[in-house]
Amino acid sequence: MEFTYSWRWFGPNDRIKLESIKQAGATGIVNALHQIPVGDVWHKEEILERKKMIENAGLTWNVVESLPVSEDIKRQTGDYLKHIENYKISIRNLAECGLNVICYNFMPVLDWSRTNLKVIFRDGSQTSGFQLFIFAAFDMFILKRQGAEKDYPADVIEKAEKYFSELDENGIKLLKDTILYGLPGSMQTYSLEEFQEHLDLYRGIDRKKLKEHLSYFLNQVVPVAEDCDVKMAVHPDDPPWNLLGLPRVVSTVDDLKEIVGMIKSPSNGITLCTGSLGVGHFNDLTQIAHELAPNIHFVHLRNVIRDKGLNFQEETFFGGDVDMIGVVKELVAEGIRREKETGVACSFPVRPDHGHQMLEDIGQENYPGYSLYGRMKNLAEIKGLTMGIISMTN
């Protein structure tokens, strides 16, 4: 078995060009058509145009990340039925264009949350982090969400009050913009008013209800995916706990088991993201990789340090709290098992998920975590680890 070493590219407007990605050592491209409004159909002409662009650079578009699930679908409001039908058409179109792995998420409103996008790391590079008391300061004193104080322990509230009291106008703006940062590929932020409107639309939707909506969505689209030999791979929540009164339902090993059980199909699986799951001190990534191995269709590898107070920071590949060696051993074992079972070579698509802003990248504009040199370093470490484990196994 082998891994397909891949790289997330945000399309023609990405500062990092395909030629650089190829030189960095990737062969696969993880990409999406960000210009298409969420809920609309991805037409074959647009898919093939992007695919040709990637192939002309000597690379292969091997994973779609993401074919986004609209907020209407998540809430089951508005045009959600039309959006589901459009999603089915897009799956068929992608399959006909030779794309058979689709990563998606079911996180309400925000894809991920951080409180600092430019933490100065011990080696002088820049990374990102999350401190619960800073997030609480935003929630209670900038957003002023009703009932927010009920979601935080007393010691966190006390630290949040002190922190906010020491912020000047620029500090308040920076914190607001950091937390309201847009979705990958957009490079835009929500306004505070827009954000509150989105939150209000989720009133009455708890974890149970959101899981029901996810189950409905999967039971609609997975049969189409299976018919087209497409693998659907849900991405975990980042971070894996409720935020801002919004439910999160893809956060633990039990959540993942429940999701793959919502509709039994080889097309209903997961994206194993060691960073998103790993920031939860309650998640053992080696255990998750072992127990969910048959359902893993796509892999994101990055490391983090975390504590039981729900604070975390992105780390070096081998320097964090996630046992990267143990995780990759489980993936290699699963790849070998699949080959023995099917007689067909198995290749996991894997990509470095984020990298520190370092060297000449510092000061350059790119989506947070998606630097050139930081990811190139991580990709080299991933290659060395996986190739070593595979050679020792054979």
What single string gives the DSSP state of each residue in 179-204? HTB--TTT--B--HHHHHHHHHTTTT
d(CA 35, CA 84): 19
d(CA 89, CA 162): 52
Lookup: tokens for 258: 């429940």
Give me the catalytic one of 353, 361, 367, 373: 353
Give me the catalytic one of 5, 300, 323, 367: 300
In the residue annotation, 235 being an active-site residue is answered as yes
In the residue annotation, 273 being an active-site residue is answered as yes
Give me the catalytic one of 235, 284, 297, 323: 235
Provide the β-strand partners of residue 181: 189
Lookup: tokens for 212: 């029901």
Question: By C-alpha distance, which of 361, 394, 387 is closest to 376?
Answer: 361
Which residues does 45 contact at the CB level (< 8 Å), separation at least 6? none
**Contact in structure between 86 and 69 (CB atoms under 8 Å):** no
Q: How far is CA 57 from CA 30, 33, 73, in A?
A: 14, 18, 36
> Residue type at 33?
L
Give me the catalytic one of 80, 202, 370, 373: 370
In the residue annotation, 139 being an active-site residue is answered as no
In the residue annotation, 216 being an active-site residue is answered as no
Helix (H) or strand (E) holding 389: helix 373-393
Question: By C-alpha distance, which of 204, 217, 287, 236 is closest to 72?
Answer: 217
Q: Which residues are catalytic?
A: 235, 273, 300, 353-354, 370
